[in-house]
Structure 1
C-alpha cells in the first residue's frame, strides 16, 4: 500500500477548498476527494434566483477576493460557481473527482479512507461534506397520502412549472422566504411557518451575520454570557426579492398545519388549503454517514467536537457544518477561520 498522505480532505465545496488552501500554505501532502464531477459544490444545485446575502468582497474564501458580478450587488449562484472553479485552479488544489467516500476507518497510526475508486491512507482527515445531500422533511401525518407533487428545497428551480397552481411552501428560514417570494407572483401561494416570520432589519446582510456569529463564539469560549448570535437578530435576511414581495403584501405566513390530506393540508380548527404542490424548505442534516465506522456519534447522532476536532478521534476534523464546527462555518466568508485553525492543529499533531 502506498505511503500514507498527511491529510485527506473529504468534500470539494467551499469548506474543502478553504482547507486545501491552508494545507497548501503549510506544506502538507494532501488530496481533496469530491463526489461531484465538476467544481462548485452545492452552489451548482440551487434554485435559479438565489443570490448571496453579502456583496462579493464579503463572500470570499481565504487568499482570494471574490470579484464583483457586473450589475449585481449580491452575486448569484452562477458567479459563486465560477469563483470556486477559479479558486481551485488558481491554487492548484489536488482535487480528485468524481470520488465518493464510503467509509473512514482506523488503521493503526493512520485513518483509512475507502472510496468507490480505491483506498487512501492519511495521518489526518478533514470531513467537509456539508449538508446539501441530506435534506430534511418532517414526519407530518398524512404526508404519504398527498396526491400532488412534493419536493424539497434541493429540487426547486424556478416558478415556471408551478404557474397558476396552488402551492404550499413550508419553512420560516431564508430558503422558505426566498422561494415563497419567488412563487408569490405566479401561483396561489400559501406560506406556512412554525412561528411568525422574524425578518432581520433591512440593512443587515451577511457581513453583520458573520460578525454576530463570531462575537457569540468568542463570548462562549471566554465563558461569558451567550449573546444569542445570529438567532437573536431574526431568521430571515430581507434580501431585495423578499423585501419587495413582503412590502407588496404577498408574504403573509400561516401557522404550521396539523396534517396533510390527499388534496392539500388541514389545521386543527378545521381550516383547509388545497395544494397542487408542497415545497419543503425545512433544512438539512450533516452528511456524515462516511464517518459511521469510527463510532463517534452521540445519542442524538451528533459528533462531539472541540472547535473542529472530533473529541473521540483527534485525527479527524469536521469543517463547514455550521456553528458547531466554527462560527458561520457554513458560509463562504465564515469558513476561512475554522479552516485555518483546523489545519494548524493538524500540522501540530503531525509534528
Structure 2
C-alpha cells in the first residue's frame, strides 16, 4: 500500500533570509509550517562563500523581523557573522527545518495543494508552497568562455573562496561589473600576482556608509516599487557598485583594467574593450546568475524564459508564492534587510487567498 506523504499547511523551500522571514510571519499567524533546506545547516550558503565577503549593508539595516543583530549595529557583518545570525534566528524561533533536503519536484496534488519531493527521498504534501530559494543560483558566463583552453582554470564567483584556489602566481582575470568582481579582484591582487579585471566602466558607483543608508531608507528610495516612476528609472540603470571597493582596487599597481570583456581566445587570453590580457592561469567569472526552476512542475508558475510569474511574489496559481527575488517589489527585495517587508506582504495575502 502506497504511504500517504506527511501533510503540512505551508511548506517553505529555502532557509535563507527570505524563508526565515516568511516562517516568522506564518508562525505568528499560527500556521503550521516546514522549511526544506538543501544545505547541511542554516546559513551554510554564506559560510561557504569567499573569505573576505561582507554584507553590503550595515547590521542595523539588515535585521530580520523581531531579532536585532548582536554586536555593533554600524558594522558590516562578515560572511561568518551572517551565517551565525541566520542560525541564531532559526533557533530563537524554533522553526521546523529539514536540512539536507534538496527539492527535486513540486507538483500539484490530485486532491489539492502540492506534493513536494526531495533528492533524499522525503515527500510532503502541503496546502501552500513558498519558494524562498533567493536570487538566482545558476551561474552564467559568456558563450565565448568556451574558447579558453583547458590549461586555463575557470571558476565561478560562487565557488571562489580564497586566492590559494587558483594555480601558480601568473596572471589571472576577473570578469564582471558587480561588487563581487571588485572584492574578488582585490583579494587576488593582495597576493601580488598580476590581475586583469574585465569591468564595464559605465557602471555607476555609490558610497556605502551610514549617511548613505540613512538617506536611501529615510527617503524611501530603496523601497520604491518596481513599477513606480522611481523604480522604473532605477531598473533601467546598471546596479551600482560600492565606490570604496572601486577606489580600493584602483590602488593596486598590479591590477590592469581592460574594459568589458568581448571575447576569449584559444591562446588563453581575454579581449576587453580597452585592452587584452596575456595568456592567463585562471579566470573567475563574476557574471551573474540565471533562473533554474526545472523542479517547479506547476502549470502557469513560470514564463517561457523560465522566470517566475508573480505580482509582488504572489503567483496566479493558488497557494504558490515566491520570495527573495531581485526586484520582487523593490530594490531592497534581494537584500537581507528587505526580507521582512516582502515576507509580511506575501504571507498576509497568501493566507487571505487560500
CA gap of 1:295–1:195, structure 2 versus 1, over 3 A, is farther
| 1:242 Cα deviation after fit | 4.4
**Corresponding residue for 1:88?**
90
| TM-score, length basis structure 1 | 0.87
Equivalent residues of 1:9, 1:30 under 8 A apart:
yes
Equivalent residues of 1:61, 1:335 under 8 A apart:
yes
**Corresponding residue for 1:259?**
264
| 1:99 Cα deviation after fit | 1.2
| Alignment RMSD (CA, Å) | 2.8
How far apart, CA to CA, are the structure 2 residues paired with 1:247 and 1:79?
28
2:39 match: secondary structure: coil
- Identify the match of residue 143 of structure 2 among 128, 139, 142: 139
**Corresponding residue for 1:24?**
27
**Corresponding residue for 2:130?**
126
**Corresponding residue for 2:290?**
285
1:306 match: secondary structure: coil
How far apart, CA to CA, are the structure 2 residues paired with 1:39 and 1:318?
19
**Corresponding residue for 1:200?**
206
CA gap of 1:128–1:345, structure 2 versus 1, over 3 A, is same
Alignment of 1:1-351 (within 5 A): 1=4, 4-68=7-71, 73-107=75-109, 108-115=111-118, 116-131=120-135, 133-140=137-144, 142-143=146-147, 145-162=149-166, 164-185=169-190, 186-201=192-207, 203=209, 211-217=220-226, 220=227, 224=229, 226=231, 228-229=233-234, 232=237, 235-239=240-244, 241-247=245-251, 252-255=256-259, 256-266=261-271, 271-294=276-299, 296-311=301-316, 313-324=317-328, 327-350=331-354
| 1:328 Cα deviation after fit | 2.1
How far apart, CA to CA, are the structure 2 residues paired with 1:267 and 1:327?
30
| 1:196 Cα deviation after fit | 3.4
CA gap of 1:345–1:251, structure 2 versus 1, over 3 A, is farther
CA gap of 1:78–1:69, structure 2 versus 1, over 3 A, is farther
> What does the per-residue CA deviation read over 1:147-174, in whole Å, with 9 as the maximum and x for residues that have no partner?
2110000111122344632010000111
Equivalent residues of 2:11, 2:130 under 8 A apart:
yes
- Unaligned runs of 5+ residues in structure 2 are none
1:292 match: secondary structure: coil
- Unaligned runs of 5+ residues in structure 1 are none
Moved more, 144-153 or 263-272: 263-272
Equivalent residues of 1:147, 1:262 under 8 A apart:
no
> What does the per-residue CA deviation read over 1:17-53, in whole Å, with 9 as the maximum and x for residues that have no partner?
1111111001001100111111104212210001112
How far apart, CA to CA, are the structure 2 residues paired with 1:286 and 1:208?
32
1:140 match: secondary structure: helix
